[in-house]
Amino acid sequence: MVSIDTYGACVDFPIFDAKSRSMKKAFLGAAGGAIGRNDSNVVVVEALRDIDLHLRTGDRVGLVGHNGAGKSTLLRLLSGIYEPTRGSAVVRGRVAPVFDLGVGMDPEISGLENIIIRGLFLGQSRARMRAKLDDIAEFTELGDYLHMPLRTYSTGMRVRLALGVVTSIEPEILLLDEGIGAVDAAFLAKARDRLRDLVARSGILVFASHSNEFLAQLCDTALWVDHGEIRAAGAVDEIVAAYEGPEAARHVREILKEKK
């Protein structure tokens, strides 16, 4: 069974070289997690506090919240990259973490070779990736560039390649962090359908995004993360309404209606 359960999970980042004398006791700004001190008087950023999360197969959850709210940290906690400082996180299922589309790519080898490498990084077998190679290559529309080393690619060309690979896998748990901004509009429209298909065959999706359009297209429910805490949970339009107001929520509802 595929599942995610966290119980009172906290993630602190100790900052040993902070200029701590001039720092206020506990700081809560518009951006970022709370800055405080731990028991040893070391300055810490409290990136996540008391996260209780219980997800099952079929859950598609969006994460909204201000810069530094803790969305990416939560995804990294669920992927096992971070251990909780307190509390626990139990994740059952094969995780495909898609945080940084460029991670696991080598600038000196060709696009085609990078497709295979990136697939291995996401938990696919070499044979599976070979079988998918033609399909991915066609999707990217990169043509002969696929035989050139990756360092000759523009940013958007790299994202095309990475998106082609990511949208070709079958993940049990898909953790998606936004970073899709670099491709041109026409390609994004094309990627959207593939992303939707990817999500449809994933067991659980957790997707951090500042784009309401993407949230509405890929998610059913959402969490509002605020200074490291879950401030609200509910249907995606309700959470967007709470976080951004009625105008944004109306837009989300229109997309939800089209989706049906």
Which residues are near ligand ATP by CB under 6 A?
A: 13, 32-33, 45, 47, 65, 67-73
Among ligand ATP, Mg ion, none, what binds residue 73 when CB lies within 5 to 8 Å by partner kind? ligand ATP
Question: Is residue 72 part of the contact set for Mg ion (CB under 5 A)?
Answer: yes
Please name every residue paired with 147 in a beta bridge, in sequence order, or none if there are none. Answer: none
Stretch binding Mg ion (CB under 5 A), from 27-35, 71-79, 85-93, 148-156? 71-79
Hey, which residues between 43 and 62 contact Mg ion (CB under 5 A)? Answer: none
3-state secondary structure of 32: coil
- What is the DSSP code string of 112-150? HHHHHHHHHHTT--HHHHHHHHHHHHHHHT-GGGGGSBG
Instruction: Report the residue number, 2 or 75, with the smaller CB distance to Mg ion.
Output: 75
Stretch binding Mg ion (CB under 5 A), from 12-20, 68-76, 105-113, 120-128? 68-76
Instruction: Report the residue number, 32 or 62, with the smaller CB distance to ligand ATP.
Output: 32
Residue listed under structure tokens 């530094």? 68
3-state secondary structure of 165: helix
Among Mg ion, ligand ATP, none, what binds residue 129 when CB lies within 5 to 8 Å by partner kind? none
Min dist. Cβ of residue 96 to ligand ATP (A): 18
Instruction: Report the residue number, 80 or 143, with the smaller CB distance to ligand ATP.
Output: 80
CA–CA dist 215, 255 (Å, integer): 10
Strands (E), 38-191: 43-56, 60-64, 86-92, 95-98, 173-177
Min dist. Cβ of residue 208 to Mg ion (A): 6
Element (H, E) at 187: helix 185-200
Min dist. Cβ of residue 178 to ligand ATP (A): 8
Question: Is residue 73 part of the contact set for Mg ion (CB under 5 A)?
Answer: no
Instruction: Report the residue number, 51 or 236, with the smaller CB distance to ligand ATP.
Output: 51
CA–CA dist 116, 129 (Å, integer): 6
Residues 6 or more apart whose CB falls under 8 angstroms from that of 10 comprise 46, 48, 49, 50, 51, 84, 85, 86, 87
Instruction: Report the residue number, 72 or 79, with the smaller CB distance to ligand ATP.
Output: 72
Residues 6 or more apart whose CB falls under 8 angstroms from that of 132 comprise 119, 168
Question: Is residue 168 part of the contact set for Mg ion (CB under 5 A)?
Answer: no
Stretch binding Mg ion (CB under 5 A), from 15-23, 67-75, 130-138, 249-257? 67-75
Binding site for Mg ion (CB under 5 A): 71-72
